[in-house]
Amino acid sequence: MDLFETIELQDCPICGGAGLLEEDGSSFYVACVDCGSHSVNIDYKEASGRKEAAERAAGLWNTGKVISSHPGE
């Protein structure tokens, strides 16, 4: 089963939009498709750490630890 299908994401803690798990080279982050808020990038060095990095990025997103470009955030 695909890693992107197995990790559950909650709605954006800023606007309620959908979160999308993204892989950027050797890191994962979650971004809102509506407002652009995102988690930090979680890096991995080897393929064996790929799933853990994706789960950590999703965990940050799901607990509301996101970066927003809105004034005052």
The series of mean pLDDT values per 10 residues for the chain, 73 residues long, is 88 95 96 94 96 97 88 57
> Do residues 41 and 25 make contact, with C-beta atoms less than 8 angstroms apart?
no
pLDDT of residue 70: 65
Residue 22: closest CA among 14, 71, 13, 37: 37
Residue/partner pairs of 17-24 with CB below 8 Å, 24 or more apart: 19/61, 21/54, 21/57, 21/58, 23/54
Q: How long a stretch of residues is the chain?
A: 73
pTM for the predicted model, two decimal places:
0.89
